[in-house]
Chain A
Amino acid sequence: MPDFILTPITALGHATPEVDIIGPWTITERADVALASLAVRRGRLGDLQAAAAGAGVPLPAAGAAAQGMPYSSFWMTPEMWMVEAPFASHEDIRAHLLPAFGDAASITEQTDAWVRFDLAGADLPRLFERLCNFDLAKAPAGAATRTVMEHLGCYLIKRTDSLVTVYGPRSSAQSLHHALVVAAQSVL
């Protein structure tokens, strides 16, 4: 049998994540985060909350995100969250979560379904008002929402005034990246 040597590539197709610095903004591709969706099974919200508290998985309210170590999460839809963890330690994130939640939750690995970009810099609302209809300037830190950018359903998380995370469909990673770069260049 031949020896295959497989090299992992990022969502944008390179060996290492791409970083673009455009004016005051830095657009960083993040390949170091593992993702899993966590959905309550019918009538098991109490069990899920207890398990989450025990495992250190935050369950933020609607429209919000919460950061923790190792687990962070953001709200997706009623009774459903996306859990984030460092890829290096939690590559198999579902196996990490499953013992804690048992049959109270449906847990689905999502790591390779998404591309993540972190946008850092001052005055980010000026950039995002070109990209989506979410009012980033008015939203508090820790706000998370699903919105549409470049015809793609994306999750947008406002970590702080100067740091925003965008999750978009990985199969459209280059399209989303192109939209972010073009928007940044056009409002310079």
Chain B
Amino acid sequence: MIIHHPILGPRDAQEFVYLGDASLIGRPDGLTASIEDFHNYTYLRDNPAGAHRELWYHEQGDRSWLVVTRNTLTHEILQVELARDVARAEGRSK
């Protein structure tokens, strides 16, 4: 499997470490969110058969975090973004 790193180009997936669902970026506000929100954030994940947004870490490369959109049925990689850009676009990491 090849991941097209947005900066470094095509790289072998073995260079990366998988973390999980990219919704981890959207951590609820610790001061205002309810206990249910945190429960959902911590334990509940979608398990789609198809496109899935997930966090990958370029451990053997430039150590950037990426948001990889992958088809879980075919392993086709549809989109790769820097997690930093995704988080800032969502208003996080100000």
**Chain A residues near B (Cβ < 8 Å):** 62-63, 76-78, 133, 145-148, 153
A63-B15 contact given A77-B63, A148-B60, CB 8 Å threshold: no
Q: Taking CB as reference atom, which chain A residue is nearest B60?
A: A148
* A133-B61 in contact given A78-B7, A78-B82 (Cβ < 8 Å): no
Selected contact of A133 from candidates B8, B12, B62, B63, CB within 8 Å: B12
Docked-complex contact B15 and A133, CB < 8 angstroms:
yes
A–B pairs, 21, beta carbons within 8 Å:
A62-B7, A62-B8, A62-B62, A63-B7, A63-B8, A63-B9, A77-B63, A78-B7, A78-B64, A78-B84, A133-B12, A133-B14, A145-B8, A145-B61, A146-B60, A146-B61, A146-B62, A146-B63, A148-B15, A148-B60, A153-B60
User: Could you say which residues of chain A place their CB within 8 Å of the CB of B61?
Assistant: 145-147
Binding site for A on B (CB under 8 A): 7-9, 12, 14-15, 60-64, 82, 84
Contact A76 B62 (CB under 8 A): yes
Task: Report chain B residues within 8 Å CB of A147.
Answer: 60-61
Q: A77-B63, A78-B64 provided; 19 other pairs, C-beta below 8 A?
A: A62-B7, A62-B8, A63-B7, A63-B8, A63-B9, A76-B62, A77-B62, A77-B64, A78-B82, A78-B84, A133-B12, A133-B14, A133-B15, A145-B8, A146-B63, A147-B61, A148-B15, A148-B60, A153-B60
Complex CA–CA separation, A146 to B7 (angstroms): 13
Smallest Cβ distance from A137 to chain B, in angstroms?
16
Docked pose: A92 CA to B78 CA in angstroms: 47
Q: Which residues of A contact B15 (CB under 8 A)?
A: 133, 148
User: Closest 4 interchain pairs by CB?
Assistant: A77-B62, A62-B7, A148-B60, A146-B61
* B64 cross-chain contacts in A, Cβ below 8 A: 77-78
How far is it, in angstroms, between the C-alpha of A63 and the C-alpha of B84 when the chains are bound? 19
Q: Which residues of B contact A145 (CB under 8 A)?
A: 8, 61
| Least CB separation from A154: chain B residue | B60
The distance in angstroms between the C-alpha atoms of A97 and B63, with both chains bound, is 25
- Docked Cα-Cα span, A146 to B60, in Å, equals 7
* In the bound complex, CA of A62 to CA of B63 (Å): 13
Closest to B8 in A: A63
Q: What residue of chain A has the Cβ atom nearest to residue B61's Cβ?
A: A146
Residues of the B chain whose Cβ atoms lie less than 8 Å from the Cβ of A133: 12, 14-15
Q: CB-nearest residue of chain B relative to A147?
A: B60
A146 to B61 Cα, complex, angstroms: 5
How far, in Å, is B11 (CB) from chain A's closest CB?
9
A78 with B62, Cβ < 8 A, contacts A62-B8, A63-B8 known: yes
